[in-house]
Structure formats: C-alpha cells, structure tokens
Amino acid sequence: MEYAIVKTGGKQYKVSKDSIIEVERLSSKPGEKFSFEEIILHVVDGKVKLGKPIVKGVVVKAEVLEHFKGEKLRISKFKAKSKYRRVTGHRQYLTKVKILDILMPLR
C-alpha cells in the first residue's frame, strides 16, 4: 500500500491514490489539476521515507472537485449578572480534492 502525508493550509492529511479529502480553501477552480509539493512522509510497501522537513522529489497530483462551506460553528459570549449574551456563527470555506497519483523520482 502506498500513501503520503501532505501539508496544506497549516494542516496535515494522509492521502492515497483515488482518495478524496476536504482541505482549507484553495485558489484553483473546480476541474483544475494541481500538485502538492510539501510531502512530509511517503510510504511504499512498508518502506518509510521521512522528510526533514519535506521529502524531496515526491509529488502528489490532485484535482479540485468543488468549493463549499463547512458546518456552522456557534460562538457564544456570556457575562454573568449583566444580561450580556452574544451568539455569532462561522462557516469555513473548504475545497474537496481528489488525489490522482503519488509520483516519486526514478532511481
């Protein structure tokens, strides 16, 4: 089994071929292909290649499927004895990405 750990949007994701992940909003348009360059870990058939800080030469090819908003988070402020209550919400912009392939250099 082959998989990699990629870093994007300040977070890390475990990806393998044909997997679909939800990441922080990307600037690419739906249907557009791009690649992740920051690969932290790459595993092929039990052989682990750990980056210090990134694995050189390994590239993860991906395609943007859609942009959407995540679930609403409710944020509440409350102060005792003063009838002060505030409720606001936040919906994060996300991008659904399909992993097409994990490429590594030939040696």
Q: What is the mean pLDDT of the chain?
A: 95
Residues 90-101 pLDDT 10s:
999 999 999 999
HEC per residue, the chain: CEEEEEEECCEEEEECCCCEEEEECCCCCCCCEEEECCEEEEEECCEEEECCCCCCCCEEEEEEEEEEECCCEEEEEEECCCCEEEEEEECCEEEEEEEEEEECCCC
Give the pLDDT score at 107. Answer: 59
Residues 37-76 pLDDT 10s:
999 999 999 999 999 999 999 999 999 999 999 999 999 9
The two three-digit tokens of residue 46, written as one number: 């039990």
